[in-house]
Structure 1
């Protein structure tokens, strides 16, 4: 059954879709700088899984080249991932020309074509870099965990020991 499912996912061909610019989450987001491609229309669970896996492969296979060429601090890219489309996050305030966007899109499109996605949907959006105070919170949480000197499961071990002692005393009593 599993092999049949996997084979069926490989055979999925996306024939219809909508322009990524028409998605509400893209159209209504002021941080979107540009969106390209077609989002396939998904009608079945197998199509949803096939698209998700293919977008994942596309991101994985193009990640090295994109990060090497365009990731912060060498470039404007601060995040790269996928959901129903590939998402490229550009640091707010970065100067990004059409040539850079074309180059990033071409790298992604080449990998997407290899896994059966034509007109791969890609959204370029501006995002803020994480604030320093957010990092401090993470560091504080890490310090608190390091300073927590409790032994995992110790209370359960103690409870078992107390229960054993009570049972040992009770076995000597006659009712």
Structure 2
């Protein structure tokens, strides 16, 4: 790790695990520390966090270590490194963790990534278009959902439709018949997601080519280590394991809490894609894709998505199930 050009500093020691249960218990402990930092974000972490400071993400990884990411190109001195460690270490001490493991690394800011036939009813995983100041942009529809009062609609990536009243077309912009609703609510706390009321929706996603659909049977957050799938208009279906839970900066929505990092491929246009796992009879929605993490090389090999609980919290909607 220390030979990695993105490595900055390391503190503490990762325990040795004799069983899967021990690893899971340790990850639960790290989650408690991470949650305390989140709960006290404004008081303690915000001064270090982008755009106030160089930190663009923090969380914990499948390897059993807390992690702080510094934007590439920014400078951080040893004093600031120690301050960041002390912040996490103090919360660890509160729950009897004396040697809190933490790494500090350089990363690029996550880059938001922005089937093409006409689909009625609307389903997840299909091409949509939104109008931006610099032209029409394509992205992927997330999943159908409904409010507690029964109003139906669907969820899209918030950074692709960040304003109430934004018009959505499917599959292309222009003809009035392709208008499929306007944004009525935007997330930005726990989810990069926007809500579009629209009555003609179905509890299905476009899983893979050609025209392979899956029923949405349930919804639940993923766990670290789970294999998840993403179905987007640019890279199609890809999959990988959840490796990290973090608070991350998302342009233009700002700070997003409890976001999930996973090792599946993505590229521009995949934003908004449903993230899911397979279950009996269909799929379980676990979140909505919004960006690529790391260095771009004909796409991204690591991605970031908002969990379904974040969508529910920010938008007040629940995935529609069959």
**Shorter-chain TM-score category?**
0.5 to 0.7
How far 1:29 moved relative to its partner? 2.4
Tell me which residue corresponds to 1:114.
Answer: 94
Q: What's the TM-score, normalizing by structure 1?
A: 0.63
Tell me which residue corresponds to 1:30.
Answer: 5
User: Between Structure 1 and Structure 2, how many residues are aligned?
Assistant: 126
Q: Which has the higher contact order (CA 8 A, sep 6+)?
A: 1
Tell me which residue corresponds to 2:76.
Answer: 96
How far 1:66 moved relative to its partner? 4.4
Tell me which residue corresponds to 2:201.
Answer: 151
> In proportion to residue count, which structure has more helix?
1
TM alignment of 1:16-165, pairs within 5 A: 26-63=1-38, 64=41, 65-83=43-61, 84-131=64-111, 134-135=112-113, 137=114, 140-141=138-139, 146-148=168-170, 149=180, 151-152=201-202
> In proportion to residue count, which structure has more strand?
2
**Which secondary structure state, in structure 2, belongs to the residue aligned with residue 29 of structure 1?**
coil
Kindly report structure 1 stretches of 4+ aligned residues shifted beyond 3 Å: 142-146, 148-151
Cα contact 1:85–1:121 (8 A) shared by 2: yes
Partner Cα distance (1:100, 1:55) in 2: 21
CA RMSD of aligned residues (A): 2.6
Deviations 1:133-163 (A, max 9, x none): x44x19631589632345326xxxxxxxxxx
Partner Cα distance (2:44, 2:27) in 1: 20
Q: What's the TM-score, normalizing by structure 2?
A: 0.36
